[in-house]
A = this chain, B = another copy of it.
Amino acid sequence: MNTEAQLIKRIARAIPSRALGGKGLRLGIGDDAAIVAARSGYDWVVSCDALLEGVHFISDVHPADSIGYKALVRAASDLAAMGATPRVFLMTLALPAARTGKWLDEFLRGMGRAARLLGMVLAGGDTSRNREISISVTVMGEARGGASVTRGGARHGDLIYVSGKLGRAQLGLELVLGGHGNERRFAGLVRAHLYPRIRVALGKWLAERGIASAMMDLSDGLSTDLRRMAEASSAGARVWSERIPCVTIPPGVAKRLGGRRADPLKMALHGGEDYELLFTVRPRMVKMLRGAPGFGQITPIGEITRGKDILIIDGDGKTKALAPLGWDSFRKG
């Protein structure tokens, strides 16, 4: 039998949760609320994300430690996208009694690993019994006052960049769903789906130097997220399909997946959960990018335009509207 108090003790053992002055956490897990103090001149950047059984993951398919890892990492990616440094998090965790044993231990191990990787501390939370697993994570990061980068700062003429290769997480998901999750040759792609890395150092670098005029993370797919950025900036955008850094589909995989799902460009445009950064840079600032962490993984894919249209130019020079076909749990529902 588990009581809530026992669960909280297990959580606090598995995940870094001590009050650490250096992280800005003055009072941690175990009271009515936690107390955080920002360093002088710093703001708190806060965001929250839900991870739901049957919506964001399938508990028979996805390992519990991946769910714990991703629950934190995907929320923290929103901080990276503002240029903030992740510090503390809170979690509401609801799960069936049958999941409070081994499943929970693995979940907490994954979340603990993500917390250590990101240097984050669990500050508090709430646990409940529930029919389905339902996780909500709130993350708090520090950013120098005024240094955070929003989605709304892109202007006509700015160049559009993405980090990494896009569509890898989507292909990883297809491989896992197709039963190929344990094949060693797909390990990198499967890892991109189950244990994504996020771009904290790059985001912070771009923000602190004022190089990115607008920034966000690619969580729902480039076609959907680019439109969100353009709308927030009251601008349009055009991208060149041949410049988009697409996932490489390994030999033999294409025919197993079939159809649209085997098209690397479609995966890059509409696949979700890459957690790469999408950002814009004024032309005169472009040369400064050379000093960026992971500069070799940054690719210019297009430019911000006047008007509202989001356009894609194909290999033959033909221009089409880029429909937002990324992830939207309500549209698909």
Contacts and interface: CB of A to CB of B under 8 A. Distances in A.
A43 B37 contact: yes
A328 interface: yes
Nearest to A91: B48
A49 B97 CA distance: 19
B330 A100 contact: yes
Interface string A116-135: 00000001111111111010
A310 B189 CA distance: 55
Contact of A148 (B27, B47, B136): B27
Number of copies: 2
A94 B141 CA distance: 24
Interface of A: 1-5, 7, 26-27, 30-38, 40, 43-50, 52, 54-56, 78-79, 81-82, 84, 90-92, 94, 96-97, 100, 123-132, 134, 136, 138-141, 143, 145, 148, 150-152, 215-217, 228, 232, 328-333
Given A33-B79, A136-B136, 11 more contacts: A30-B151, A30-B232, A31-B150, A35-B148, A37-B43, A37-B145, A46-B140, A47-B124, A50-B128, A52-B128, A129-B330
30 contacts: A4-B329, A7-B330, A26-B43, A30-B232, A31-B151, A31-B152, A31-B232, A32-B47, A32-B78, A32-B150, A33-B45, A33-B47, A33-B82, A33-B139, A35-B82, A36-B46, A38-B44, A46-B123, A48-B92, A48-B125, A48-B136, A50-B94, A52-B128, A52-B130, A55-B128, A56-B128, A96-B333, A100-B330, A127-B330, A138-B138
